[in-house]
Amino acid sequence: MTDTTHIVFLLFPGITQLDFTAPAQALSRMPGAVLAGAAARFDPIATDSGFAILPTHDFASAPQADILCIPGGHGVIEALNDAATIDFIARQAAGAEWVTSVCTGAFLLGHAGLLQGKRATTHWGYTHLLPLVGAEFQPARIVEDGNIVTSGGVTSGLDFALTLIARIQGDAVAQAIQLAIEYDPAPPFPGGHPDRAPEAVTAGLKARVYDAAAARMEAALRS
């Protein structure tokens, strides 16, 4: 890479805010990083958190990414059916040194043909759907396969960003950024994944949210 590293995030309506802002916060501190948020139009992008994000570029004006990052969110289902979005991902990925996703952004990579035969991960509620885009699920928070890096749900985007910074500029740079943002997690409950969460909590959340959400995702992927 050159001294300047162009990092392009895809933005779309219904994006999960932290899928974008967590890795963006860490990556923005990498020496030489220049971030862009690209959307189909310059209109504000409604997030799942009740506020909007203003893109810096539309698809036509976005710079070629050195690092392409595709966040997730419930809006992925609509984005899967948007030809301009999928074309933008494919075009950018062809020239990127690193192609990455957070959470269900993996399905956008997959729909663009980028996960065929690759090991990958996504949010735990959707991992069973990865074979629909030609990927092999690997049970890990961060999965690297060549220049493709996928990460699990939401907060894993921060781990992904620090992992990638270490690959590009070394452990010391990544550790300094981790220290600067005081990323020293000590969650109040040891239950951020179904492997560790109480069974009743996992079952309740699946019934309320993820069974139906995964069914909608599957229908979109099969359509």
Is residue 113 over pLDDT 90? yes
Q: Quote the mean pLDDT of the chain.
A: 97
Active-site amino acid positions: 103
Choose among 104, 32, 91: nearest CA to 60. Answer: 91
Q: Is residue 171 part of a domain?
A: yes
Q: Is residue 120 part of a domain?
A: yes
Work out the average pLDDT over 186-207: 94
Is residue 116 over pLDDT 60? yes
Predicted local distance difference test score (pLDDT) of residue 123: 98
Q: Is residue 98 part of a domain?
A: yes
Predicted local distance difference test score (pLDDT) of residue 1: 42
Confidence (pTM): 0.96
Is residue 18 over pLDDT 50? yes
State how many domains the chain has.
1
Q: Is residue 220 part of a domain?
A: no
Q: Is residue 30 part of a domain?
A: yes
Look at the alpha carbons of 119, 121, 124, 125 in this order and tell me if their dihedral is positive or negative: negative
Q: Any idea what the CATH number is for the domain that residue 60 is in?
A: 3.40.50.880
pLDDT band, very low/low/confident/very high, at 190 (cuts 50, 70, 90)? confident
Q: Is residue 201 part of a domain?
A: no
Predicted local distance difference test score (pLDDT) of residue 83: 97
Q: Is residue 173 part of a domain?
A: yes
Dump pLDDT digits (tens) for 30-72.
999 999 999 999 999 999 999 999 999 999 999 999 999 999 9
Q: Is residue 223 part of a domain?
A: no
Predicted local distance difference test score (pLDDT) of residue 137: 98
The whole-angstrom separation of Cα 66 and Cα 43 is 25
Q: Which residues lie below 8 Å from residue 92, measured CB to CB, with a gap of 6+?
A: 8, 62, 64, 65, 68
Range of the domain at 141: 5-187
